[in-house]
């Protein structure tokens, strides 16, 4: 009499692998948690009828992987050195218009930058030679954080300590500190972005 083998418990080889172990690491498609990775673009059905992007995955350029899950559907798109992970918590009907969701957290500027790169990829837009460099993106991030502090009523010194650390700020007299001048410029830059300067990033 042949006995039916019992299912193996987790930890004894009976659990599914997150990625097929036969695939080389460099070729594996990894799906990251949205709360831990700014590279995840969150999409949902749009309330605005705009033809920029519809839910038609088979037509998306560079589609590499599609994975349905309990929390919605996940996709990976590849474009040169760029790789985009998309998450649709509530996938709409085919050809429905899509909108991006940007969580309002400390990583919002980076998430917005990734969303813009995905938008250019999905719509065939060129990034152009004037695309922000990593240093420029960091300065924009600092300007937006400085703006947040300014709008909340924080002093320039408080903003500087948040951006550069209390140790650096306290290392020299505040009134003559280069960090004070940098902080003032960052606040002014953030205010300029809020008042319409952000539009230059949408015309590339």
How high is the pLDDT of residue 9?
A: 46
Query: For residues 47 and 54, is the Cβ–Cβ distance under 8 A?
Result: no
- From residue 196, give the alpha-carbon distance in Å to each of 132, 134, 188: 17, 22, 13
Tell me the mean pLDDT in the region 104-121.
82
58-100 pLDDT, tens digit each: 888 888 888 888 888 999 888 777 788 899 999 888 888 888 8
- Give the pLDDT confidence of 145-160 residue by residue, as tens digits: 898 889 889 999 999 9
Q: Give the residue extent of every domain in the chain.
A: 33-102, 134-199
Q: Is the pTM of this model over 0.95?
A: no
Reduced to 3 states, what is the DSSP secondary structure of residue 156?
Answer: helix
Look at residue 198 and give its three-state secondary structure: helix
| Cα separation, 121 vs 25, whole angstroms | 25
pLDDT, residue 59, reads: 83
Does residue 96 sit in helix, strand or coil?
A: coil
pLDDT at 52 > cutoff 90: no
Q: Distance (Å, rounded) from C-alpha 113 to C-alpha 40? A: 11
Pair type for strands 72-79 and 98-101: unpaired
């Amino acid at each position: 009499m042949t006995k039916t083998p019992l299912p193996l418990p987790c930890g004894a080889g009976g659990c599914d692998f997150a990625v097929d172990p036969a695939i080389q690491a460099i070729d594996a498609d990894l799906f990251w948690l949205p709360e831990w990775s700014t590279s995840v673009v969150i999409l949902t059905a749009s309330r605005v009828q705009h033809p920029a992007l519809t839910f038609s995955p088979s037509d998306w350029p560079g589609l590499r992987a599609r994975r349905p899950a309990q929390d919605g559907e996940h996709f990976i798109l590849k474009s040169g050195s760029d790789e985009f992970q998309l998450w649709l918590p509530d996938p709409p009907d085919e050809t429905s218009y899509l909108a991006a969701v940007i969580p309002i957290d400390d990583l919002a500027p980076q998430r917005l930058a990734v969303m813009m790169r995905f938008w250019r990829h999905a719509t065939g837009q060129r990034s152009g030679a004037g695309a922000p460099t990593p240093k420029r993106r960091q300065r924009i991030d600092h300007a937006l954080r400085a703006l947040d502090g300014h709008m909340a009523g924080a002093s320039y010194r408080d903003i500087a300590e948040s951006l550069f650390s209390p140790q650096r700020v306290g290392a020299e007299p505040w009134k003559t500190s280069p960090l004070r001048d940098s902080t003032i410029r960052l606040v002014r830059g953030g205010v300029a972005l809020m008042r319409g300067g952000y539009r230059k990033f949408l015309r590339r």
